[in-house]
Amino acid sequence: MSQHPEPDGVGPDTPNLDFEGTTPYDDYVKADVLTHLQHPLSDDPGEMVFLVTTQVMELWFTVIVHEWQTAATALRQDDLPTALAALRRSTYELESLNASWKPLAHLTPAQFNSYRGALGEGSGFQSAMYRRLEFLLGEKSGSMLVPHRGAPRAHAELEKALQEPSLYDEVLGYLARRGHAVPAAALNRDPAQRYEADPDVERVWQRIYAGPQDTPEMRLGEALTEVAELVWRWRNDHLVATRRAMGAKQGTGGSAGVAWLEKRARKNVFPELWTARSHV
């Protein structure tokens, strides 16, 4: 600390103040762009936090997609430590994502109504990054590309993600190469189709979980279970926030609203990791 700080805190030991152009911070973080992407559609003061929370969640989706792609690539190369590190980072990120529900979790219908009309037909259902996240989990659906026909970049990225093996496909390939009896049907499936639970895959997890408790396979199973649980929590927190904000009204995206979200939240991510537990 400077012994004689200047009144305004500027002294010889303060950070640099002089830059030729924009600051190196902004060159890296693009904070100027990021903090000017908020354009509320109504005059309601509560809309800003709705918009920013949605943007924050989009950023977390982006990071999590990156982590799961890292994990999938590492598993393809039988590099379990890299895969586990990425999955573990993603669980901390999922917890931060889920914590971001807080500002929207207690909206009353009147508060939400103050800007709901301004959203028009806009809905999180149209989030391309969320769809990529679901595709990586194995929840593939060609029809989820339809809303993005008019947006070439999002459409191309989704098309690629649809055709590529999911994270779970790579997990099954890894287990097969480690000598587990993963059925050929699961290994050779069309990756663009939704993954359907397979009793033989359930038996693979059952044997892993019934065996020695600290095998690499077991650590992988537990890391994936953690991911699955946190995704389930995001879906349920979304469901409850929606129920509080709008009851049983139709969604802005045209669905039945809460009734439709309830069905979606019932899906189990990595299904056999859950059902195998009944047989251990």
Positions that interact with ligand HEM (CB under 6 A):
53-54, 57-58, 104, 107, 123-125, 127, 130, 238, 241-242, 245-246, 251-255, 257, 260-261, 264
At its nearest, how many Å lie between ligand HEM and the CB of residue 241? 4
Q: Confirm if 171 and 75 have CB atoms less than 8 A apart.
A: yes
* Residues 6+ away with beta carbon under 8 Å from 69: 136
Alpha helices in the chain (DSSP H): 24-29, 31-34, 47-76, 80-99, 109-116, 128-137, 152-163, 167-177, 184-187, 199-210, 216-246, 258-265, 271-275
Token match 């995001």: residue? 234
In whole angstroms, the minimum distance from the beta carbon of 187 to ligand HEM comes to 28
Residue 265: CB minimum distance to ligand HEM, A: 8
List b or e across 18-52, with b for residues whose CB sees 16 or more CB atoms inside 10 angstroms. Answer: eeeeeeeeeeeeeeeeeeeeeebeeebeebeebbb
Give the three-state DSSP class for 139.
coil
Closer of 73 and 123 to ligand HEM (Cβ): 123
**Residue 2 vs 108, nearer CB to ligand HEM:** 108
All residues at 6 or more sequence positions from 244 whose CB lies less than 8 Å from its CB, including other chains: 105, 106, 107, 108
Write out the binding residues for substrate: 116, 252
Residue (of 118, 165, 123) closest to 147 by Cα position: 123
Q: Of 84 and 161, which has the nearer Cβ to ligand HEM?
A: 161
Residue ranges for the binding site?
116, 238, 252
CB of residue 71 to ligand HEM, shortest distance in Å: 21
Nearer to ligand HEM, 47 or 217 (CB): 47
Shortest Cβ distance from residue 189 to ligand HEM (Å)?
22
Measured from the CB atom, the residue of 80 and 131 that comes closer to ligand HEM is 131
